[in-house]
A and B are shown apart, each in its own frame.
Chain A
Amino acid sequence: MWHRSASFILDKQEQQRNDAAESRPISPASIAMKENPSANVSMYYQTRAEHHGVVTSDWLAQAQTAVAGNSDDDVAQSNGSGGEEMDKMFSVVDEFNNWRKQPDLAEAVAAIRALASAIRSSQAKTMMELEIELKKASDSLKSWDATSISLTAGCDLFMRYVTRTSALDREDFGSAKSRLLERAEKFGEISYKARRIIAMLSQDFIFDGCTILVHGFSRVVLEALRTAVENKKVFRVLCTEGRPDRSGLRVSNELAKLDVPVKLLIDSAVAYSMDEVDMVLVGADGVVESGGIINMMGTYQIALVAKAMNKPMYVAAESYKFARLYPLDQKDMVPALRPIDFGVPIPSKVEVETSARDYTPPQYLTLLFTDLGVLSPSVVSDELIQLYL
């Protein structure tokens, strides 16, 4: 509501008056069955919190009620629909959720494994049919959680691979199908290898005696730091707390196990400590076409401070996270909300900014460490064009 010009406030008020005059036609029953039951909360960030965050009792209670809500919805849905189609699609999402629960598995790999199981269970006899089924499965996965970028990117990648394979239609259906399955299996390995490659590439940038600022729980970044320890490098890490997930606590645990000197900062202390930092190293939930990244809330802030103080900012991301999105500003993305627990009850009149992620434009990033090599942000679009066009 608080836009920049007075004319807007007037427009908005008029609009609100108009809205109040109309009746609200939407009823809960008409919400599509495929939709995420807890529509306001991003499943992706919930899962991440489950894996990486510190669980508070409040949050646990919320999660339990959410799960109870889920099972109610499940029952309702399976009673409501009877078609084989619905079951199949539902099973893809089920599969995906199962895979996703494993903490060490990347999101995109989970998606691809779910799609692979869709292939396995499909009854199609020709390549075209299979492709169509896969497209449906992929679309349902994407709509299940519209906020997860690596999920979307992983699905897109796999679909691209499928269409490219189906274009060479010379062999029989069975072998093509098995080739797709093989590829899906391989993808998991590729993902794991990608982390190793990125860890190796980043070794050149971690020098003895350096201080690294880390934000958010990224398995890639942890792998890089682990490798650095194995290479007997001496460095220390400043780690932000990362509210509301408190992922920083988990990171500091891991690093302490590796005997790396760790210092924990609250999120507001980043600017205060930026003087003693040599570089910032973060992971990414998604890398967008402009070369910017989408990552946990707080990354943009840190990038701004780092730029102002001339500290390099490095991003470690696998290449399957490259997505064909192009946000122009912070609000230009699909909103991903997360419940925030302040520890004390908040009066209902007070709004809370619950977005779980932000967008860091490419001019604040120095380099991207990917399994394709060490890239500058403008190369991302190059890669995407070659991949998708």
Chain B
Amino acid sequence: MVRHQCACKILQPTNTSPDTIAGGGCFDAEETGRKTIGGCMKDSGEDRCSGKGRCGNCGGKTAGTFGPCVLSQLSQSGVEMKGWTESKFLLSCNKNPLCWVTELHHPGEGGKTAGGNSANTTKSAKPAPQKKDNSSVAASERKGGDRQTDKDRKKDVPHPRMQFDDENRVEKAKKRSVVKQAEARNRVELFRHLPQYEHGARLTDLESKFFQLGPVHPAVYKVGFRYLTGDISGGNARCIAMLQAFQESIKDYSTPPEKTLIRDLTSKINCYVSFLIECRPLSISMGNAIRFLKRRITSLPLNLSESEAITSLVSDIDRFINEKIILADNVIVKHAVTKIRDGDVLLTYASSSAVEMLLLHAHELGKRFRVVIVDSRPKLEGKMLLRRLVGKGISCTYTHINAVSYVMHEVTRVFLGASSVLANGTVYSRVGTACVAMVAHQFRVPVLICCEAYKFHERVQLDSICCNELGDAEMVSRVTGREDINSLDGWTSSENLQPLNLLYDATPSDYVSMIITDYGMIPPTSVPVIVREYGREYLLI
């Protein structure tokens, strides 16, 4: 066991009993339950502890976040704790998933607040690395005995999103960001933790920066641009576009000298991902796809040549898109079509690709039904769906969400799409879906959600506030095509007026009758079963 001393020299572990503390480095299976201390910054070129360091054993980079119970565990094991504050880190090495390094931090280091978010501050220092990566997010429950499994599990859980109401972190993120954004004015207090930027300025800014954005591949840049302008919208479309852009960039990839393919490619992907996040926050389906891609990269055998690795990754992405999105949609349509009978009145909200495919297929099969499309401002996505359905000869009714309780009495089935389904059966979908589902439930109309399995997530959300996305507030005040409606003009100057344009909401599972996935028709309570049984499969294939 090698012992390291932190450059801040605070740590002088006095207890060297081998069963509680080892000095810095990897441990493998039989050493689970030990904490290691070390992770010195000495050779990294930085002259103070910043919570990042290198693994004492293998030299891999560490990522930091902390857990307060580490403190208690350490104090129990007799390490001297004088002068320490709550800001302690439990780090682990990225390179070797079994590396655990505990670096104990100088109390003078400012700005650290409780919770896993401190990792974000340090992480923002490098825009890419471990935003989505999961090497040891130390949560409060840290049991010595099953640290291995905890760690593996934590590897799967994506990092919580950055909270935008802390000034320090926002400042640091801004310094490193590629896209310069001005924060929107008149922000709603309740939603301060979500990012919101002035819409118009970003586009021109990005355009001017086009030739300076070295690290970002042009395909990714193009996709990011399209997200910004709202050209691509809808979970599946965004995911496919992003994956295809990544495919392009991987095809053009070549390993720089003195770097390994796996690590370099991973950091490149991280870089692209953070660029895309700045254009538009990721949807949950995109997050799952990125996790899949990263898993595939890290699980590449080391002896593969570069071209083989690249072809393997490219075909993996193709397979993911094909199996998890396109074929999955076919299976969903096949199942859902059995639930449409002749004489049905089907209601759908906004525009979902899965529901559209389903309606077109049912029409092709010759079923006689009519469709009620409920739409809402400011996006008015239902209009395009209406156009396409009427073009195929389906009789449609189009109405605004204000009238949903008026039309619901003649509806026999409600088909909705989802951006994601969470572990407790909550459906996270376009804002307004919860309203429609609630009214349908009240009228005892069955609500069927069509959602591919790759969009499932093990997160639990109880309301629509803690995690959401804010759109352009300007769209609330303006109505396209009606220039005469201008009573909200000049809202930016009024302090008391704070327009809010939410994009998603959470529908409780009680309102949902069944979820139709490519694994069949399941009740909403079975979503965690699918995640549990097939989580490995649909991420690792």
Contact = CB atoms under 8 A, between A and B. Distances in A.
Physical interaction between A and B = yes
Interface of A: 3-5, 7-8, 11-12, 15, 289-291, 324, 326, 328-329, 332, 362, 378, 381-382, 385-386, 388-389
12 contacts: A4-B409, A5-B345, A5-B410, A8-B345, A12-B343, A326-B521, A328-B448, A328-B513, A329-B446, A378-B525, A382-B529, A385-B519
Query: When A and B form their complex, which 6 residue pairs have the shortest distance between CB atoms, in order from nearest?
Result: A5-B410, A378-B525, A381-B526, A328-B446, A326-B521, A290-B523
A286 to B, nearest CB: 15
A34 to B, nearest CB: 22
B508 to A, nearest CB: 14
Interface size class of B (residues with CB under 8 A): 20 to 34
Given A290-B514, A326-B514, A385 B522 contact: yes
B499 to A, nearest CB: 37
A381 B523 contact: yes
Contacts of A389: 519-520, 533-534
B520 A324 contact: yes
B4 interface: no
A362 B409 CA distance: 24
A386 B533 contact: yes
Interface string B469-484: 0000000000000000
Contacts of B291: none
A329 B513 CA distance: 10
B345, B519, B529, B534, most chain A CB atoms within 10 A = B529
Nearest to B525: A378
Contacts of B410: 3-5, 7-8
Contacts of B534: 389
Given A328-B413, A328-B446, A381 B529 contact: yes
Nearest to B335: A326
Contacts of A4: 409-410
Interface string B510-541: 00011000011111011001100110000000
Given A326-B514, A328-B446, A385 B521 contact: no
Contacts of B392: none
A110 B368 CA distance: 39
Nearest to A363: B510
Contacts of A329: 446
Nearest to A361: B513
Contacts of B345: 5, 8
Contacts of A382: 526, 529
Interface string B117-159: 0000000000000000000000000000000000000000000
Contacts of B529: 381-382, 385-386
A382 B448 CA distance: 19
Contacts of A291: 523
Contact of A378 (B343, B514, B523): B523
A324 B338 CA distance: 13
A389 B345 CA distance: 32
A151 B523 CA distance: 23
A137 to B, nearest CB: 24
Contacts of B521: 289, 326
A15 B343 CA distance: 10
A385 B339 contact: no
A381 B409 contact: no
Contact of A385 (B446, B513, B530): B530
Interface in B433-468: 446, 448
Contacts of B530: 385
A328 B523 contact: no
Nearest to B528: A382
A293 B368 CA distance: 29
B439 to A, nearest CB: 15
B452 to A, nearest CB: 15
Given A290-B514, A389-B533, A381 B413 contact: no
A143 B514 CA distance: 27
Contact of A332 (B339, B520, B525, B526): B339
A4 B413 CA distance: 13
Contacts of A332: 339
A5 B343 contact: no
A326 B521 CA distance: 7
Given A382-B529, A386-B533, A289 B523 contact: yes
Nearest to B527: A381
A11 B345 CA distance: 12
Contacts of B526: 378, 381-382, 385
B533 A328 contact: no
Given A289-B523, A329-B446, 7 more contacts: A3-B410, A11-B343, A290-B514, A290-B523, A328-B413, A385-B529, A386-B529
Given A5-B409, A324-B520, A381 B339 contact: no
A289 B522 contact: yes
A385 B514 contact: no
A5 B410 CA distance: 6
Contacts of B522: 289, 381, 385
Contact of A328 (B339, B343, B368): B339
Nearest to A382: B529
Contacts of B409: 4-5
B514 A328 contact: yes
Chain B CB within 10 Å, residue with most, of A332, A378, A382 = A382
B343 A8 contact: yes
A159 to B, nearest CB: 16
A166 B530 CA distance: 26
A37 B525 CA distance: 41
A388 B533 CA distance: 12
A128 B409 CA distance: 52
A381 B533 contact: no
B443 to A, nearest CB: 10
Choose among A329, A386, A388 the residue with the greatest number of B CB atoms under 10 Å from its CB. A329
Nearest to A326: B521
Contacts of A326: 514, 521, 523
A385 B532 CA distance: 11
B456 to A, nearest CB: 13
A308 to B, nearest CB: 16
A361 to B, nearest CB: 9
A12 B342 CA distance: 11
A328 B339 CA distance: 8
Given A5-B409, A7-B410, A8-B410, A385 B525 contact: no
Nearest to B516: A326
Residue from B368, B521, B530 with most neighbouring chain A CB atoms (10 Å): B521
A284 to B, nearest CB: 17
A156 to B, nearest CB: 13
Contact of B343 (A3, A289, A381, A386): A3
A386 B519 CA distance: 11
Contacts of B446: 328-329
A5 B344 CA distance: 12
Contacts of B343: 3, 8, 11-12
A386 B526 CA distance: 11
Contacts of A388: 520
B523 to A, nearest CB: 5
A186 to B, nearest CB: 27
Nearest to A5: B410
A290 B520 CA distance: 12
Interface string B322-354: 000000000000000001000101000000000
A345 B513 CA distance: 42
Contacts of B339: 328, 332
A75 to B, nearest CB: 37
Nearest to A378: B525
Given A289-B521, A328-B514, A332-B339, A385 B533 contact: yes
A332 to B, nearest CB: 7
